[in-house]
Chains A and B, each alone.
Chain A
Amino acid sequence: MSLANLEVRRISGHAATVPGAGLKRDLEVAKLVDTTTCIGCKACEVACMEWNGLTYSDTTFQNSYQTMPETTFNFWNLIKFNEYEPEDGGNLMLLMRKDQCMHCEEPGCLIACPSDGAIVQYANGIVDFQQDECIGCGYCITGCPFNIPKLSPQSQKVFKCTLCVDRVSEGLEPACIKACPTGCLHFGTKDEMKELGETRAKQLREQSGFAHAGVYDPSGVGGTHVLYVLHDATNPEAYGGLPRNPHVPWTVWLWKKPLKWIGNLALAGGLIGMFVHYLRFGPKTVEEDHEEPKEGKQP
Chain B
Amino acid sequence: MKAGDDSTEAPPRNALSRFFFPSLTPGYVLRVLGIAACAYIVFSRVLIPLHINGTSMEPTYHDRAWNLCWRFRYRSSLPERGDVVVVRFAGMRVMLLKRVVALSGETVEFRGGKLFVNGEEQVEPYVATPCDWELSPRVVEEGKVYVVGDNRGVPMANHKFGQTSVLRIVGAPLW
A joins B in a complex: no
Q: Which residues of A contact B (CB under 8 A)?
A: none
Q: Which residues of B contact A (CB under 8 A)?
A: none
